[in-house]
Amino acid sequence: MTTETPFRTGFVSIVGSPNVGKSTLLNQLLKQRLSIVCKKPQTTRNRILGIYNAPGCQILFFDTPGFHQGPKALDRFLTNQALSACANVDLILVLVESCGERSRLPQPLLEVVAQSRIPALLAINKIDLIERPRLLPLMESHARDFPFREILPVSALKGEGLDELLAAMIRFLPEGPQLYPGDMISDLPERFFAGELIREQVLKNVHAEIPYGTAVCIETFNERDDGLVMIEAAIIVERESHKKVLVGHNGQMIRRIGEAARGQLEKFLGTRVFLKTFVRVEKKWTRSMSKLDEFGYHEG
């Protein structure tokens, strides 16, 4: 008589400092470009649910904003998103880098993880950037700092160690039924990802402080009978001077952003896209909780 292996389902929050590779890791695990990726801080702003399906398990990942502190309403929102992700989940995956400043564990975040009493794993990312003899002492140091259930070295960018990481996470998930259909990759609507893909191109094409005071509001999102998706998007900035930079000389910058975003949208949606973008000034929106809510940055 054979015993059937029980199905396992659970929620896993990916937390850590900004730019340690949380979004890259999620995209690699899902084999789908779900979270936008950029080297600049505040790339991820919302808590994004990514659904991993495999025989015998379903893992529901939360990709969270990087844990950091700042004075603006947007800063508080991002920090609250990261901290709230450590509640009401089955497992917390803390991510650090293998070297540099972000190889240290943020003490305030560890305190929240400890208070949650939720099992926590540590993934040391970017092991392709460190000499292997230095890896074991680093793992031992982190083991002394916090009682992680397991510590695993990975390279999210190169896909190294991800099978071992998945296996470790599955071991800590509870038995339970599948919560979402097997063909779903997220519970968020397509218009949310449309806004994120446009914002990604702002981050990649515009420098200095401007991207951090930028949001994208999808005004219309409609699919015609012939399959063409019509999208109208407002890029929100805080100052008139920022608007001039985003529009660019003779509209060159806004065209570049729109063309690049349209290409990414067509890949993501799997169909043709007509994209119209324009820039709108909303002074001090990053300091206003009502504006944050209006532009899609909802608590919870």
Tokens of 230: 């019509």
Task: Give the pLDDT band (50/70/90) at residue 3.
Answer: low
Which of 28, 261, 233 is closest to 126 using CA atoms? Answer: 28
Contact 24, 34 (CB under 8 A): no
Which of 281, 127, 295, 113 is closest to 196 using CA atoms? Answer: 295
Tokens of 52: 């991993």
Tokens of 36: 């936008």
**For range 137-147, the mean pLDDT:** 92
H or E stretch covering 167 = helix 162-171
Quote the CA–CA distance of 188 and 36 in Å, as a whole number.
Answer: 14
Q: What is the pLDDT of residue 1?
A: 47
| Residue 217 or 5, more confident | 217
**pLDDT(75) > 60:** no
Task: Give the pLDDT band (50/70/90) at residue 289.
Answer: confident
**pLDDT(167) > 90:** yes
**Among the ranges given (93-102, 163-172, 222-231), the one the predictor scored with the smallest mean pLDDT:** 93-102
**For range 142-151, the mean pLDDT:** 94
Contact 72, 287 (CB under 8 A): yes
- Secondary structure tally for the chain: helices H, strands E: 9, 9
Q: What is the pLDDT of residue 38?
A: 52
Q: What is the pLDDT of residue 290?
A: 79
| Residue 126 or 17, more confident | 126
Q: Which residue has the tokens 């209006």?
A: 294
**For range 270-294, the mean pLDDT:** 86
Q: What is the pLDDT of residue 165?
A: 97
- Chain centre to alpha carbon of residue 168: 21
| Residue 292 or 158, more confident | 158
**pLDDT(52) > 60:** yes
**For range 137-157, the mean pLDDT:** 93
Q: Which domains does the chain have, with CATH numbers?
A: 8-171 (3.40.50.300), 190-294 (3.30.300.20)
pLDDT (tens digit per residue) in 175-220: 999 999 888 888 888 888 889 899 889 988 887 666 667 889 999 9
Task: Give the pLDDT band (50/70/90) at residue 132.
Answer: confident
**pLDDT(266) > 50:** yes
Amino acid at 91: L
| Residue 287 or 114, more confident | 114
Tokens of 46: 């919302």
pLDDT (tens digit per residue) in 78-116: 556 666 667 789 999 999 998 877 778 888 888 888 988
Q: What is the pLDDT of residue 209?
A: 60
